[in-house]
Structure 1
Amino acid sequence: MGRAEERRARQRGGRRAAPKRRRSSGAPGKSGIRRFFTWKKVLGTFLGLCLLGIGGFIVLYLMVDVPKGNAAARLQSNVYKYSDGTILARDGKVNREIVDLSKVPEGVRNTFVAAENKSFYKDSGVDFKGTARGLINTLSGKGAQGGSTITQQYVKNYYLTQEQTVTRKLRELVISLKVDRQMSKDDILAGYLNTSYFGRNAYGIQAAAQAYYRVDAEKLSVRQGAYLAALLQAPSQYDWAVASETGKELVKNRWNYVLDNMVEEGWLSSSERRSMKFPVPKEPKAAAGLEGQKGYLVDLANNQLEEQLMKQEGISRSEAETQVKSQGWTITLNIDPKKQAQLEKSVETQLTNKLDPKERPVDGDIQAGAVSVDPKTGKIVALYGGEDYFKHYRSNATRTDYQPASTFKPVILAAALENQAETQDGEAIGASTVYDGDSRRPVVDANGKKVGFAPPNEDDVDYGDVTVQTAMNKSINSVFAQMGVDVGMDEVMDTAAELGMDDDLEAVPAQTLGSMGASPLQMAGVYATLDNHGKKVTPTLIKSAEQNNRKVTMPDPIGEQVISGETADTVTSVLTGVVDDGTAQKSVRDNPARDGQEVAGKTGTSDFGRSAWFTGYTPDLVTSVGMFGEDAKTRNQVNMKGATGTLPGTGRVNGGGLPAQIWAAYMFGVTDTDAEFDLDTDQGAAVEPTWTPTKTQEPSRTPTQEPTTQAPTTEAPSETPSQTPTETPTTTEPTDEPTTTEPTTTEPTFDIPEDPGDPDADR
């Protein structure tokens, strides 16, 4: 090659190289990533994955056969044990009676289709979108979320298990497709109705019809069928006999949804729909083998296990119940058989043996519930749910429809201490802080403006200036109503939630009287947290739960520090005064069975005497006892006045009476006599006073709005103030109960939720 040719070649090469330099400096061209991810390659990869998925599904479809269904044979008894390993109960007799679909009225069949799968008669047995969503949730650890057709639910109930795994979901999908091809829709629907769990230990629609309406399936009405169809979403939550107000509202909404769907599908006329009223189910009958307290313990154990499975596996309530009921679990409870026997004996001797419904009809309306908790471990060591699981199905230990009344007052004090709250005069709130204790004293806000709330004290007594300690001892409503507003009701409700009460309580002044609903189980948890120096205690019944090789780890009952140790210990110190110098003197302090035990606690009685409480604790054990007035026929709340016929004076059932007597008879037989409160506080009745208060003057009968100038006192006047001043204190036993005196018309007026203006209440 000559030089000229070489030069021309170099020039051509230079021209070819130039564009490369321009691209590197930002000229148009394809980067390395864009060359790798071309639309052709992405589309090809997507199609390849689709073909791979289709091929895999075809292989799976060919490999998976429809197994022989034998769901009933797989059901096993659950075994429940005491903490020492002895048998408490066996619960596993399968309550099921298979019925032909022809025995189920067509309208009732349609309620289930309307509730669960409107396209049932048209689809191929599978909801691909719902199944895909379930697979994604399982892979991401979120658990299952609806979407199953009736065919899929039948396959899961009859052929498979309730476990939440990708393998089980894929098998469910394939088997559902095959079952839909091999069986008629009527046969699938019949299988679904006969295998579903409806609660109340009822498997299948025949058992459910009997359990809820005392009729055979063929006698069910459409509106009854709609309730049973709605029930399947959450059997225990929607069971009318035990449902909360929220649960009742939800199941009614679901019932309406079912019927509206039937109208939409043309299975029910609009006129028939409009005429239908909600069919309230009958009271449940207890299952054999669960007599006495056993049924209450088994129900709570099942509920706590279900709650844990729902959190752990992300499954629905219905699925959790199906996994637990009659599935071969061995569940060991924290119940101490000796303490359990002592609690049952105490209720019997102090209450049940004194009831005579023939002599006094009100005695037939008396219910009692109690829960006993170890504050160091959170274990529920004893529980009393009612007279008998056969006679009163609903557990009084866990029901939340009665007011805790003055047992809520310690929560207000805890909130004040924890938030370093101050009075209207800028004084830090503590045990020795002075408040105006006059009855019906209008509560004012930080600006001195009346908030429209002026609650009466017990027996409408005016106490004048008193310390917070005295106010707790004597359960003075006016003091704690003002304290709640001083602290801020939002802060009070936040503290209540931290301690273990419901976290959606309305933050209004009336709540200072304990006007919300609460259960002995909840109140035992609140006071156990106080006893445990502010570390959260969530009472737990289950010690262990095993199923074949599967073990469920229950959450630690002892949680984090929710209030400071000093706050909790100060409240405990103050509550010792309720026992030693307050409303629990006679039943607890002076009880002959007491052998030196240190005790803190609080009494309470709700509006119109419908509930009475004593929740108290020693250093090693916490027990909450509640008594409830419940009409034996209507289940409505009633006044317990005159019960047992042994009540002095007005005949009121108060927290310092029967509930405190039950508490003492139990606690003083099972607690450590040498245990002592280890309190980090310089306040309260458990601490030696550093000053001696002067005695108050005669309390005025006219409510005042301004604090008096008299010296504060730690001694309250007698229950019924004398008309003539005296320097000699009365010896009348204090009570925390309200008077039956008619309220005065002194302004301002106030409202109390549910039962406004009731004078016969301690709150």
Structure 2
Amino acid sequence: MASPKPAGGKRGATGANTPNGTKKKNPDAPPEGRILRVLKWALVGVLALAVLAAGALGILWVSTPIPNPNKDFVTANTHLYFADGKTSLGMLSVQNREMIDYATIPQTMKDAMVAAENPTFWTDPGISPTGILRAVSSLGKAGGGSTLTQQYVKVLYLTQDKTLLRKLREMVIALKVGQDVPKEEILAGYLNTVYFGRGTYGVEAASKAFFGIPAAQLDLQQSIVLAALVNAPGLLDPANGKKQAADLLERYQYTINSLVKMGKLTEAQKAQIYTALPAFPPIKRDPRFGGTNGYLMQLVMKELKSLGFDDATINGGGLEVTTTFDAAKQDAAVSAAQTKVKEAAGKKDASQLHASVVSIDNATGGVLAMYAGNDDYVSSPFNWAITPRATGSTFKTWTLVAALRQGVSLDKQLKGYTFTAADGKPISGETSGMVSLQDATTNSINAAYVDLTTQLKNGASESIKAAQDAGIPGQSGQAGWDQNIRIAMGTAEVAPVDNASGYSTLANDGVHVAWHVVSQVKDRDGVVVYTANPQRTLAIDQTVATAATDCLTEVAKTGTGRVVGSLNWPVAGKTGTRYDSENKKTVSSWFVGYTKQITTAVNFVAGDSGNENLEVYSPGFYGGGYPAQTWLLYMQSAMKGLPVQQFTASNYAPTETPAVVPAATTTASATPTASVTPVETTAAPTPSSTTTTQAPPPVTPSTTQTTRTTQVQTPTPHPTTAAPAPTPTATP
């Protein structure tokens, strides 16, 4: 008997009508129908998004005209102000720019720039789709995928913001410029406006700054160098150091290889120029940086870079930068240093005697004043205030802190007489017997501090740690920072600005606030884009810090620094004199002192190397002499109008006294004295290659202190000639 046929049609049909007239799904039906329906709706969605995107781009295209190409660019001068926000410190201007026509620019320069920045420039529409995708994916980061046309558009019309909207506007304007403006005109405009470094915009100014010639005279190698610099001007200037020169060579070689690929250079030509950069003439200093303010401006520019501002924005972004420098205090620092240098030099050459002064607002860490030790940045660009020098007995303070941390009493008795130390070498004493730690500090007795360092647990390393905790950069292995029992005698090299910062930590009862020179930054529209808010870190226990301050006040009252006692404010501080016994010369002389409000460091050095004999100017040249006098003269002006504030009272209670380590031998003692005397050295110091008051933020307890790194520089008699460093000498 035959099987009945299914109602509604043939076997295998996809479905049948239900009583209500709808199709009933057949579970045996293949999935192709469902897939097609999904694909259909996906396609509809994509088309809808495409229409919306096209509409949005159309609106963006219509609503984005090509702006005035020069309106903002030529007026975007960056202004630097003193702490009051009104008194001008200086100006960083884009006016170091000279326009030249396309025909005047050498073909080698045109080819090199295209090869370095955009090899497809002559054929692309002004944008690079793949480059844009890379740039969008890396928004907020360095780098990007901009064509030469896009870079030109960004320089002239747009901000430096790394946002998607800015990138889209850049793309639209670049496409319009690519359609409406001849390629030759775009390239000429780019070469006349792009930033090359050294404050120069455009190839004409850059050619004169880097090679001392007009752009029309550039040869092949010089053209390639300038094209290579555009990639990162501040990081590729060979005048800034060996690393920068090496990085420039790498970019220079990249540009050469690109020229070869473009057919603009043969392999034979490449071989002749590939391995080395061309010669650079001596740098001509920008007259805008003339006088003593030039050193401050350079320091501000360096800090702005560390805060993330690029060279183009710093030099031509129309910023308004309020610094921490107080105009009146700056004048006082310059006057005090120049007065005392002239007095010390007498009839000798005062230009070879350098007195640096750094003054810090203890509450904020802002540098109130800085005298670089030279009078004119253009003629003498070296800044001694940020250059590490041998600290002499100012380093005793950190051995004192190390001792207090270990519970040592200020009444602890130490050897003040001459004896043979644990390192087997004699140490000259200044008394006939034992002295207290307080007296050893007050009168800066070297023998007692060598004895103390020997008795402390890890005395040398703990002294270094105390300095580091206070905010002084430096570690074992650096110039003079060797871990030995004579560390307190001051072989360690520290910049005056860092020495002031370290002592400021003691004035703040152990709270460290990193020094800085930028208070606030506004963009060209007056919007505040940066406000200094340095972290306050509890670096040294308050009990220890106040005990150290209490001890150091005696230095200013009755000790080696007693000349500053006439300030009529509570003062604590320390003298320091570094004597090279083998070469028989005093190479560094200090006074670092503080009131509750202000800490100031003064350092004297001599000669182009900063390592010549100060005794040419005055026998001994002790820290209690001209350095302390300079400190006093400055602080008498700086403290005017400020209330008398007492230091926080010390409640330090000693907990232990290290056991006395017998001396190997005892030799004849010296007569007691209350003045600083030159000290023996384990190594002659050599040059290291280195406000407005606001409510302070909360203190952050910390056992490790992050310190600011001081600029590294090498003393030179001229901008391009390095002075030889003296040979280290050992103590006999």
**Structure-1-length-normalised TM-score:** 0.69
1:708 aligns with 2:679: no
- Match of 2:611? 639
Q: Which digits, 9 at most, give the CA deviation of each residue in 1:620-673, with x for residues without a partner?
A: 210122334453xxxxx2423157x43115xxx554443333212212343368
Q: Give the conservation status (yes or no) of the 8 Å contact 2:353–2:605.
A: yes
C-alpha displacement of 1:569: 2.2
1:260 aligns with 2:257: no
1:661 aligns with 2:629: yes
Unaligned runs of 5+ in 2: 1-33, 686-724
Whole-Å Cα distance in 1 between the matches of residues 232 and 452 of structure 2?
Answer: 40
Distance 1:626 1:200, change over 3 A: farther
Whole-Å Cα distance in 2 between the matches of residues 125 and 299 of structure 1?
Answer: 37
Q: Give the conservation status (yes or no) of the 8 Å contact 1:739–1:759.
A: yes
Q: Give the conservation status (yes or no) of the 8 Å contact 2:590–2:602.
A: yes
Whole-Å Cα distance in 1 between the matches of residues 138 and 627 of structure 2?
Answer: 49
Report the AA paired with residue 534 of structure 1. Answer: G
Q: Give the conservation status (yes or no) of the 8 Å contact 1:133–1:145.
A: no
Distance 1:573 1:165, change over 3 A: same
Q: Give the conservation status (yes or no) of the 8 Å contact 2:576–2:623.
A: yes
1:250 aligns with 2:243: yes
- Match of 2:368? 381
C-alpha displacement of 1:486: 0.8
SS at match of 2:592: strand
C-alpha displacement of 1:554: 1.2
- Match of 1:217? 215
Distance 1:167 1:217, change over 3 A: same
Distance 1:544 1:646, change over 3 A: same
Q: Give the conservation status (yes or no) of the 8 Å contact 2:589–2:622.
A: yes
Distance 1:545 1:724, change over 3 A: closer
- Match of 1:193? 191
Whole-Å Cα distance in 2 between the matches of residues 40 and 440 of structure 1?
Answer: 96
C-alpha displacement of 1:327: 4.2
Q: Which digits, 9 at most, give the CA deviation of each residue in 1:717-744, with x for residues without a partner?
A: xxxx9x8556xx244732354479999x
Distance 1:659 1:44, change over 3 A: farther
- Match of 1:126? 127
Out of 122-131 and 195-204, give the one that drifted further: 122-131
Q: Give the conservation status (yes or no) of the 8 Å contact 1:370–1:624.
A: yes
C-alpha displacement of 1:375: 0.7
- Match of 1:568? 545
Whole-Å Cα distance in 1 between the matches of residues 131 and 590 of structure 2?
Answer: 49
C-alpha displacement of 1:371: 1.9
C-alpha displacement of 1:503: 8.0
- Match of 2:571? 598
Out of 522-531 and 75-84, give the one that drifted further: 75-84
Report the AA paired with residue 346 of structure 1. Answer: A
Q: Give the conservation status (yes or no) of the 8 Å contact 2:591–2:601.
A: yes
The match for 1:364 among 351, 356, 367 is 351
Distance 1:68 1:410, change over 3 A: same
Whole-Å Cα distance in 2 between the matches of residues 131 and 600 of structure 1?
Answer: 59
Distance 1:148 1:675, change over 3 A: same
C-alpha displacement of 1:256: 1.5
1:680 aligns with 2:667: no
C-alpha displacement of 1:171: 1.0
Whole-Å Cα distance in 1 between the matches of residues 238 and 607 of structure 2?
Answer: 16
Distance 1:567 1:174, change over 3 A: farther
C-alpha displacement of 1:589: 0.8
Q: Which digits, 9 at most, give the CA deviation of each residue in 1:428-448, with x for residues without a partner?
A: 5665667789789566xxxxx
Q: Which digits, 9 at most, give the CA deviation of each residue in 1:495-542, with x for residues without a partner?
A: 655543448875898345566765333332222122111222123434
Whole-Å Cα distance in 1 between the matches of residues 614 and 534 of structure 2?
Answer: 40
- Match of 1:614? 591
Q: Which digits, 9 at most, give the CA deviation of each residue in 1:698-721, with x for residues without a partner?
A: xxxxxxxx64289xxxxxxxxxx9
Report the AA paired with residue 65 of structure 1. Answer: P
Whole-Å Cα distance in 1 between the matches of residues 595 and 181 of structure 2?
Answer: 64
- Match of 1:30? none
Aligned residue pairs: how many? 634
Q: Give the conservation status (yes or no) of the 8 Å contact 2:300–2:517.
A: yes
Whole-Å Cα distance in 1 between the matches of residues 568 and 40 of structure 2?
Answer: 87
Report the AA paired with residue 667 of structure 1. Answer: M
Whole-Å Cα distance in 1 between the matches of residues 282 and 578 of structure 2?
Answer: 30
Q: Give the conservation status (yes or no) of the 8 Å contact 1:101–1:190.
A: yes
Whole-Å Cα distance in 2 between the matches of residues 370 and 498 of structure 1?
Answer: 23
SS at match of 1:510: coil
| CA root-mean-square deviation | 4.8
Whole-Å Cα distance in 1 between the matches of residues 681 and 474 of structure 2?
Answer: 32
Q: Give the conservation status (yes or no) of the 8 Å contact 1:501–1:526.
A: yes
Whole-Å Cα distance in 2 between the matches of residues 657 and 559 of structure 1?
Answer: 34
**Structure-2-length-normalised TM-score:** 0.71
Q: Give the conservation status (yes or no) of the 8 Å contact 1:115–1:257.
A: no
SS at match of 2:567: coil
Whole-Å Cα distance in 1 between the matches of residues 504 and 514 of structure 2?
Answer: 9
Within 5 Å, which residues of 2 pair with 1:284-683?
A: 284-288=284-288, 291-308=290-307, 310=308, 317-318=309-310, 321-352=311-342, 354-355=344-345, 360=348, 363-392=350-379, 394=381, 396=383, 399-400=386-387, 402=389, 404=391, 407-411=394-398, 413-414=400-401, 431=410, 441=421, 473-474=444-445, 478=450, 486=458, 489=461, 496=467, 498-502=469-473, 510-511=481-482, 513=487, 518-546=494-522, 547-557=524-534, 559-579=536-556, 585=560, 588-591=561-564, 593-595=566-568, 597-603=570-576, 605=578, 611-629=588-606, 631=608, 637-642=609-614, 645-649=616-620, 655-671=623-639, 674-682=644-652
Q: Which digits, 9 at most, give the CA deviation of each residue in 1:583-617, with x for residues without a partner?
A: xx2xx313585336422234254878555433221
Unaligned runs of 5+ in 1: 1-33, 311-316, 422-427, 444-453, 632-636, 685-689, 697-705, 711-720, 744-753
Distance 1:708 1:681, change over 3 A: farther
Q: Give the conservation status (yes or no) of the 8 Å contact 2:431–2:672.
A: no
Whole-Å Cα distance in 1 between the matches of residues 365 and 587 of structure 2?
Answer: 29
Distance 1:305 1:662, change over 3 A: same
Whole-Å Cα distance in 2 between the matches of residues 200 and 483 of structure 1?
Answer: 53
- Match of 2:12? none
Whole-Å Cα distance in 1 between the matches of residues 290 and 411 of structure 2?
Answer: 50
Distance 1:224 1:540, change over 3 A: same
Whole-Å Cα distance in 2 between the matches of residues 483 and 113 of structure 1?
Answer: 68
Distance 1:275 1:77, change over 3 A: closer
Distance 1:394 1:118, change over 3 A: farther
